[in-house]
Structure 1
Amino acid sequence: MSAGPSGGQPRGGSTSAERFFDAAIGLLRRVRDEDAEEIAAAGTLIADTVAAGGRLFAFGAGHSSLAAQDLVYRAGGLALMNLLAVPGVVGVDVMPTTLGSALERVGGLASAVLDTSPLRSGDLLVIISLSGRNELPVEMAMTARARGIKVIGVTSVAYAAETKSRHASGTYLKDHCDLVLDSKIAVGDAELTLDTIPAPFAPASTVVTTALLQAVMATAAGVLAERGIEPPLLRSGNVDGGHEWNARVLTEYADRIFYRQA
């Protein structure tokens, strides 16, 4: 039995489940310690956008969309975060599922999406792409910044050193952001290996990226509170008074919330 890319040497008799938890915890500690400055800056940038009346959006393709969706309309989260959905690439519900991967490599798609979205100068867009190498996230970041939209990129910087960009410019998502958050995920997104299994397995990118972004959102809420601004947070609808609280927040910030509009 051998260790995975980030999991260290396995303990004697440890199970694959234990090794995965060890690898994920190790990555979370690395992100907490090594990305602390960037997390603080990203949270502050989001707070600045909220305070200035801007709107917040998040985008990710394929499984990267899971981390984007985790920010939208959820208990304990900022009510102002909207999902920037690109038809066919949001998740694995499209048929055939492989179409989503193909659409990530289509030039011009990002510009068309931004043309028809509510995003405008002064807003902020979180773009999540593990590899950061495909046409869609690179074009999305380039186009958004050209339109005066702040961009926070969430990616694994390692891909830029070990893979080839699929964008005509030869650049990656990390090259077109106001701030970059590095998830530290190894190329291939699989933390474990076994001599009896021919391919690496057990991806951790969703766990790490989701935690990283929630740390940023927590920072943003704290910064707003420090400035005397009540963070526009949602409460669970499954606690007494939750629906009433949320109705107030959703009404107060209706002009910056787009997931309620038909």
Structure 2
Amino acid sequence: MGETGSASGDGKLSGQFFDAAIGLLRRVRDEEAESIAAAGELLADTVASGGRLFAFGAGHSSLAAQDLVYRAGGLALMNLLTVPGVVGVDVMPATLGSALERVDGLASAVLNCSPLRAGDALVIISLSGRNALPVEMALGARALGVRVIGVTSVAYTTSTKPRHSSGTFLKDHCDVVLDSKIAPGDAELSLDTVPAPFAPASTVVTSALLQSVMATAAGALAERGIEPPLLRSGNVDGGLEWNERVFAEYGDRIFYRQ
């Protein structure tokens, strides 16, 4: 957590938050380089072998998953695996989404109705990695022959108890684990005059971490002589035409258009 600030200067607090976020990004860049490379190669392998790409996150972790889907500069084959009630804060009351993350059996029901199959890859994002939904999602996906990239904070495993009946965390069921380095509680700042820590950085760090993986995957495909199936912005000249070509070529692996 960042240094304790004073109540007198919002500018000081904003600077502290940027410093904390930049520090986390540097740690991820330096300490997770090997895992980022492995995750990028895994996605490249999946694309090259005809597999499909999916991303899942519950609650605010869904924001980083959505950031990968139908994204200018991103891989067109990345699809969002949705679980009703946990995509962002799309239910009322919002606390219902948190409750659903702890329900045993929900992930299995979703996987049974999803297009996931052997040879695909699934990115699962869960900051704590302790709830039943992401753990069960990873277990079920791997049982189907799907390779799993987990994005989580390993620090949570030493300061919290798992909530899945197996007594395990998300990180225990992944082919590649990406550690976001976020401290338990996800709040980077504190003040003597404020009773709770504040200023979460997990979304910033997780999104950057995953975009670095996407960049690695694109580069890995290019090194193999395969044109990465990237999308362009529809707001630049020629972008829409480019995307239609990609959609036509890879339509059988893109589910957000169906």
Is the pair's TM-score, using the shorter chain for normalization, greater than 0.5?
Answer: yes
1:177 to 155, 174, 177: 174
Q: CA deviation at 1:93?
A: 2.0
1:48 to 24, 45, 48: 45
In structure 1, distance between residues paired with 2:87 and 2:4: 36
Q: CA deviation at 1:98?
A: 0.6
Q: Does 1:64 align with 2:29?
A: no
Give me the TM-score of the superposition, normalised by structure 1.
0.96
1:150-208: CA deviation from partner (whole Å, max 9, x where unpaired): 00000000000000000011100000000000000000000000001000000000000
Q: Which deviates the most, 54-63 or 89-98?
A: 89-98
Partner of 2:15: 18
Q: Does 1:220 align with 2:217?
A: yes
Superposed, 1:1-262 pairs within 5 Å as 5=1, 7=2, 15-261=12-258
**Which aligned runs of 4 or more in structure 1 are off by greater than 4 angstroms?**
8-11
Contact conserved, 1:79 with 1:249, CA < 8 A, in 2?
Answer: yes
SS of residue in 2 equivalent to 1:197: coil
Change beyond 3 A, Cα 1:8–1:223: farther
Contact conserved, 1:144 with 1:150, CA < 8 A, in 2?
Answer: yes
Instruction: Write the letter of the residue equivalent to 1:85.
Output: T
Contact conserved, 1:105 with 1:166, CA < 8 A, in 2?
Answer: yes
Q: CA deviation at 1:96?
A: 0.9
Contact conserved, 1:8 with 1:23, CA < 8 A, in 2?
Answer: no
Contact conserved, 2:75 with 2:228, CA < 8 A, in 1?
Answer: yes
SS of residue in 1 equivalent to 2:197: strand
Contact conserved, 2:162 with 2:168, CA < 8 A, in 1?
Answer: yes
Q: CA deviation at 1:120?
A: 0.1
Instruction: Write the letter of the residue equivalent to 2:197.
Output: P
1:69-110: CA deviation from partner (whole Å, max 9, x where unpaired): 000001000000000000000111211111100000010000
Unpaired runs of 5+ residues, structure 1, are none
Contact conserved, 2:4 with 2:192, CA < 8 A, in 1?
Answer: no
Instruction: Write the letter of the residue equivalent to 1:156.
Output: S
SS of residue in 2 equivalent to 1:213: helix
In structure 1, distance between residues paired with 2:233 and 2:95: 35
Contact conserved, 2:55 with 2:79, CA < 8 A, in 1?
Answer: yes
How well do the aligned residues superpose, as a CA RMSD in angstroms? 1.3
In structure 1, distance between residues paired with 2:143 and 2:71: 30
Change beyond 3 A, Cα 1:8–1:39: farther
Contact conserved, 2:3 with 2:189, CA < 8 A, in 1?
Answer: no
Q: CA deviation at 1:10?
A: 6.5
Number of equivalent positions: 256
Q: Which deviates the most, 231-240 or 93-102?
A: 93-102
Give me the TM-score of the superposition, normalised by structure 2.
0.97
Instruction: Write the letter of the residue equivalent to 2:47.
Output: V
